[in-house]
Amino acid sequence: MEKWATREEIIAVRERLEAADPRWRRPAAHAVGVIRDGRTSFTLTNRDGNHLPAVILARAVGHSSGSGSYPLSVEQLEAAEAELAPAEACPDFEHPNLHHWRDLIAEVTGEGGQLVAVFVGDLADEPVDEHDRALRAALEG
């Protein structure tokens, strides 16, 4: 199994993945949420950072730029988790998204719910839907 044991290796992978899509623009915020009973909740959010998980998650759902919300299957999140897993070999980062994605897979598999991937291109733009609004609310704390 491939492992990215250094900060430089992780940066090189991120740069390669970002360059693979000429339309790619880093989001101002991104997260994976769970929809239950008509409510979207986020227990981990990313703002202006964690760009490798962002591009990997975006590839899983077909996102390139701007704001958008995408239904996310457990299988899609498992594939994204597997793609990000080699980064775990690098002790320079805590890998919160990797651990969170694993927790979400177990949670939704056990308790039900629908996963959703949300990207906010620019926080100054109007939200595109209720999932975008929920992410922005979670960012505000």
Q: What is the pLDDT of residues 49-86, one digit of tens each?
A: 999 999 999 999 999 999 999 999 999 999 999 999 99
Residue 1 has pLDDT above 90, yes or no: no
**Model pTM above 0.85:** yes
Give the model confidence (pLDDT) of 126-136 as tens digits. 999 999 999 99
Give how far the C-alpha of residue 78 lies from the chain's centroid of Cα atoms, to the nearest Å: 12
From CA 45, how far away is CA 96, in angstroms rounded? 10
Above pLDDT 90, what percent of the chain?
98
First to last CA, the chain: 38
